[in-house]
Amino acid sequence: MRIMGLWRFLKSLILVNKEVPQTRGMLYPRESETREVRSLDGIWNFVRSDQANPTQGVRDEWYAKELSKSRPTIPMPVPASYNDITTDNLRDHVGTVWYDRKFFVPRSWSKDQRIWLRFGSVHYEAYVWINGQKVVKHEMGHLPFEAEVTDFLNYGAENRITVMCDNALIQTTVPQGRITEVPNDGGMTIVQSYTFDFFNYAGIHRSVHLYTTPRTFIEEVEVTTNLSKDATVGEVFYSVSVNGSAANEADNVLHIQANLYDKEGILVANATSDQKLGGKLQVNPVKPWWPYLMHSEPGYLYQLEIKLLATNDELLDVYRLKVGIRTLSWNSQQFLINGKPVYFRGFGRHEDSDIRGKGLDNALMVRDFNLLKWIGANAYRTSHYPYSEESMQFADEHGIMIIDECPSVDTENFSQELLGKHKSSLEQLIHRDRNHPSVVMWSIANEPRTGSVSADSYFELVANFTRSLDKTRPITAAIAVPNTQDKAGRSLDIISFNRYNAWYSNAGRLDMITQNVIDEAIAWNKRYNKPIIMSEYGADTLEGLHMQPAYVWSEEFQTEVFSRHFKAFDELRKKGWFIGEFVWNFADFKTAQTYTRVGGNKKGVFTRARQPKAAAHLLRKRYFALGRDLDQCSFPDDLFTYIADLIS
Ligand code: GCB
């Protein structure tokens, strides 16, 4: 046993940099004059496998016919997590579940085009069949995947799609978990455990689309932007990849016509590509993309129209996407957008709500953005996994800055296989999100166990890999080990730390917050000479529980905890290298069952139903005060409640 342990330890020290599979395509499905999009969202049929026999459905080929022919099915909404839909213990199911539904493909789609099937995300692993034939397999929640299904479909006829989804997390999945078999009253049962603090919701979490492309089509568009020093001239660099036979014909020189339109739909720049299908558009005068409250017109987006043309100028394909023109830069003290230093004021969040779990919900998304703007936040971290593409587009539109986090949380037991998956999660994330102006930083992990020796080379490899994919954004990770033990910080550009003073340490001691926060931030900065963010702080709070003097779990306590942190942050801001404060959490959210959680994690500033707790009003005053002081924003009329004309 001890020899095995030693061997595992030694192996973890000699991690090597292996290639990871490269994502292709995956442009967000959009209609155009050359493309059609259909949604497969709705009510699907659902079967759970026997926990003790998770591969039975594959062996018995449940995908070969309708699921209802193999097992009784129940209705299941898509998109949604399946866990909280039923009244039985589906919530705690471990292993595989099955979905199917029928759909029609119009006869017109059979003509000279390609059909793609795209999932916004399935957690955690998905196997997909069309009419009984396997079309794609994908591992990793929260990220999209797609497959061409042109040759699998019946045109002008009915089709069947079957999905098997596996929620099991083990030591080499991202995130990690453990599956154990333990005795229960009925004999033995399978139990999923994990150390991270949110419920492992599973299922078809985001929309399922069928979309068409021409035979030769725009497969990828990559955009980067630049601004002149005086911010009057903007540049948009685009690079396009094309897929299809026309791309390989020697006498057919494909080219791109790129047109850029402003918000009013006026053409402000156009260009024809070079032979590599890339080029530059210049906008003069430009309206840069600014974060919310940093400018009177935040989130300014242009529309980039990409037209793929054949030699004879025949139009082959058209794809449009929104583009924000901005620059990012950073040094050992600051993070700057369009040359202006940024002070982040925001939240760690979760995709989580009652009943639908982590399922995409447009009503919830719009409500959340309304609350973010109401409270004066300018940023959030996608703790602890990539959020929906729809929410990324919304953040672009509203000027909310995003620290974009991959699904690596509480990472430990660093192995070669885990490293490969971790890198793949970042590759998929960056491929998906690289064109979003709202994405200003990559977070490569949350609370990894960076005290261990093997974390050193592991995070160096992960950070270098991330940099090799995108040099335009800085890299961070939210670290919780004491700075004296940490081994990952040297590989990052910006240090984020999570700490729960007066909660997990010195519970209830409001007098032990301010100085501890100041001391710890200074220590991180001294150790690494990099900008510092406090990426998590907070206190569980039961809405409606009031206690004076403040007592843990009460609304008064959360308010006081925030206020003591604000004091520390204001001290730290004077130092020049402290660049942001993020409350944990935006809203209450569900976790695994433990005696420290009452119906879930209650550190939300908003309840799970998205109503403010008392501390929300305090936080709102602070975020707007910071906005006015740092970015000259104005106050909303209702920020302060009239008390008496004795008080100004
Ligand atoms: C943390 C984690 C977060 C937890 C939070 C808490 O440090 O990053 O996922 O939810 O603490 O409330 O315990």
Q: Whose CA is nearest to atom 7 of ligand 1?
A: 498
What is the reported pLDDT for 562?
A: 98
Helices (H), 268-415: 362-375, 389-398
What is the reported pLDDT for 647?
A: 61
Could you tell me which of 570, 541, 571, 575 has the C-alpha nearest to residue 555? 541
Fold match flag (36-167+202-214 vs 217-323): no
Cα torsion through 73, 200, 382, 98, rounded to 10: -20
501 lines ligand 1 (CB under 6 A): no
Could you tell me which of 360, 350, 438 has the C-alpha nearest to residue 122? 360
601 lines ligand 1 (CB under 6 A): yes
Backbone angles phi, psi at 612, to 5 degrees: -70, 140
Q: Whose CA is nearest to atom 9 of ligand 1?
A: 197
Q: Whose CA is nearest to atom 1 of ligand 1?
A: 498
pLDDT at 1 over 60: no
Alpha carbons 637 and 640: distance in angstroms, whole number: 8
Question: Architecture of 217-323 per CATH?
Answer: Sandwich (2.60)
Query: Which atom of ligand 1 approaches the CA of 196 most closely?
Result: 9
Choose one of 594, 601, 605, 608 to mutate for the ligand 1 pocket test, by most ligand atoms within 8 angstroms of C-beta. Answer: 601
Task: Please say if 447 is a catalytic residue.
Answer: yes
Q: Which helix (H) or strand (E) holds 130?
A: strand 125-130
How many angstroms does the Cα of residue 19 sit away from the middle of ligand 1?
Answer: 32
Paired residues of 280 in beta bridges: 237
pLDDT at 17 over 90: no
How many angstroms does the Cα of residue 504 sit away from the middle of ligand 1?
Answer: 10
- The string of pLDDT tens digits covering residues 589-614 is 999 999 999 999 999 999 999 999 99
- The string of pLDDT tens digits covering residues 434-492 is 999 999 999 999 999 999 999 999 999 999 999 999 999 999 999 999 999 999 999 99
How many angstroms does the Cα of residue 538 sit away from the middle of ligand 1?
Answer: 9
Alpha carbons 468 and 23: distance in angstroms, whole number: 15
Choose one of 176, 196, 197 to mutate for the ligand 1 pocket test, by most ligand atoms within 8 angstroms of C-beta. Answer: 197
How many angstroms does the Cα of residue 105 sit away from the middle of ligand 1?
Answer: 46
Q: Whose CA is nearest to atom 4 of ligand 1?
A: 197
- The string of pLDDT tens digits covering residues 178-203 is 999 999 999 999 999 999 999 999 99
How many angstroms does the Cα of residue 24 sit away from the middle of ligand 1?
Answer: 34
447 lines ligand 1 (CB under 6 A): yes
pLDDT at 8 over 70: no
197 lines ligand 1 (CB under 6 A): yes
- The string of pLDDT tens digits covering residues 308-357 is 999 999 999 999 999 999 999 999 999 999 999 999 999 999 999 999 99
480 lines ligand 1 (CB under 6 A): yes
CATH number of 342-631: 3.20.20.80
Alpha carbons 90 and 81: distance in angstroms, whole number: 11
565 lines ligand 1 (CB under 6 A): no
109 lines ligand 1 (CB under 6 A): no
What is the reported pLDDT for 440?
A: 98
Tell me the average pLDDT across 560-577.
Answer: 98
pLDDT at 247 over 90: no
Confidence of residue 251 (pLDDT cuts 50, 70, 90): confident
pLDDT at 648 over 60: no
Alpha carbons 466 and 579: distance in angstroms, whole number: 22
How many angstroms does the Cα of residue 197 sit away from the middle of ligand 1?
Answer: 6
What is the reported pLDDT for 248?
A: 75
How many angstroms does the Cα of residue 198 sit away from the middle of ligand 1?
Answer: 9
Q: Which helix (H) or strand (E) holds 159?
A: strand 157-166
Given the residues 447, 543, 555, 556, the one annotated as active site? 447
How many angstroms does the Cα of residue 195 sit away from the middle of ligand 1?
Answer: 10
What is the reported pLDDT for 12?
A: 60
Domain ranges of the chain: 36-167+202-214, 217-323, 342-631
Alpha carbons 234 and 509: distance in angstroms, whole number: 51
Query: Which atom of ligand 1 approaches the CA of 603 most closely?
Result: 12
379 close to 400: Cβ distance less than 8 angstroms: yes
What is the reported pLDDT for 90?
A: 97
Backbone angles phi, psi at 130, to 5 degrees: -115, 125
What is the reported pLDDT for 498?
A: 98
pLDDT at 138 over 80: yes
- The string of pLDDT tens digits covering residues 518-559 is 999 999 999 999 999 999 999 999 999 999 999 999 999 999
Q: Give the CATH fold of the 36-167+202-214 domain.
A: Jelly Rolls (2.60.120)
What is the reported pLDDT for 252?
A: 80
Backbone angles phi, psi at 422, to 5 degrees: -60, -45
Q: What is the DSSP letter of 589?
A: B
Query: Which atom of ligand 1 approaches the CA of 591 most closely?
Result: 10
Q: Which helix (H) or strand (E) holds 534?
A: strand 532-536
What is the reported pLDDT for 391?
A: 98
260 lines ligand 1 (CB under 6 A): no
536 lines ligand 1 (CB under 6 A): yes
pLDDT > 70 in the chain, percent? 98
Q: Whose CA is nearest to atom 6 of ligand 1?
A: 197
